[in-house]
Structure 1
């Protein structure tokens, strides 16, 4: 008996952006072989997002061990809530270009982005 799963392909697109990141996927099968007929699916609900968007913030909240405590809008929400009180967590945003830095070196942009006045007020950039 042929495995029906082997007849389908899933195409996935991932966008890691400096400000926001997202992903989409689409099932490719004989019924939608024509690319113009395919319906891509996006994640539109992210924890703590201010509105429905297909992308989440490219941001991390790191705990004292350097492990991810939260990411995206939730990371920013927690960083804003702890601002001035709990300095054990570090908020990191706009770090995309630092992902390409050679081992042991940092790019010209610092990986840590301090919270601006607008971000402290809860506004998006």
Structure 2
């Protein structure tokens, strides 16, 4: 079964990194950052893929967080996912996000709402 981790905001941002905070109930032990992102046009979300023992976990980043994502891109920040116990770097996050944003702009294949929101924010 695929798990989902919903991101409601960034816990912290510094000059060179930011943290997407998850609750203490999320166990990151053995999870590998795949370096891949997808788009969920129906939910207007970017989705970062994590893997553990050949099963995927989806990190869901919906539109209310996108203004923070824009700051992350502009600052070229390293992105981490974690809690007080542990954290992992979401490798290739910026490259994947930038690629998806450019691919979505003006591309009706992603749906009118997704395209409009991406064009408005990014």
Provide the TM-score with structure 2 as the length reference.
0.26
Larger gyration radius, structure 1 or structure 2:
1
Structure with the greater relative contact order (CA < 8 A, sep ≥ 6): 1 or 2? 2
Provide the TM-score with structure 1 as the length reference.
0.26
Normalized per residue, the structure richer in strand is 2
Normalized per residue, the structure richer in helix is 2
